[in-house]
Amino acid sequence: MNDKNNNIKIFTVSIDNYIYKGEYFVISFTDITELKEKSNLLEYQATHDSLTGLSNRQKFHDIFGKEIRRDKRYEHPLSLILFDLDYFKKFNDDFGHDVGDVVLKTVSKITLEAVREHDTVVRWGGEEFIVLLPETDIEGAQMVAEKIRKNIEDCTHEKIPRSFTASFGLTSLIKGDDEDSFIKRADEALYEAKNSGKNTVRTNI
């Protein structure tokens, strides 16, 4: 329902009947717009990273469970990219955490611009990120990872005094996978990327 200023309002509706010299119905409306907005805000805060606005681990677990069941049922490919920023601790030490926060928000924006609407981008922790790619095989995931890697490498920002890079590990869902085994393979690929000179993409399937 909209008010006179065309703002959307949310109401609960109660209907009570009374019998007194006939039957009457009393309909009452309670405006719960503010309560609903607060509830939505709390839900958002519980499932999103406060700095970047990306989904957090809790949101990832919810989405991943649904995706893994759906993709196994319909035999659709499901891929995952795990990446983190190279030498980020040194970056923070050199320029401070405020600049480091700008880097994290910039990387989040770059990543969101490189994926589709139904892909999920997660701040996994610190400078580490996950991208969950439904209906995407390993070749498709490689293309996405390379796009993100290159855009990070080429990024310039007036508040970021030095260029920065990221390393990527990726994998695709295989029979028998659960969340732990799925992420572990991507983590192993990321470890290989880190030990291969960084700023690179490695796969593990």
Q: Point out the residues that are catalytic.
A: 127
Interior/surface letters 110-128, b for 16+ CB within 10 angstroms, e for the rest: bbbebbeeebbbbbbeebb
Using CB atoms within 10 A of its CB, is residue 137 exposed (0-12), middle (13-18) or buried (19+)?
middle
Helix (H) or strand (E) holding 89: helix 88-95
- 200: tokens are 């690179």
Q: How far apart are CA 84 and CA 130, in angstroms?
A: 9
Quick one: CA dihedral 151, 152, 158, 162, positive or negative?
Answer: negative
The answer to whether 186 and 170 are in contact (CB under 8 A) is yes
Note the residue count of the chain: 205
Rg for the chain (alpha carbons), in Å? 23
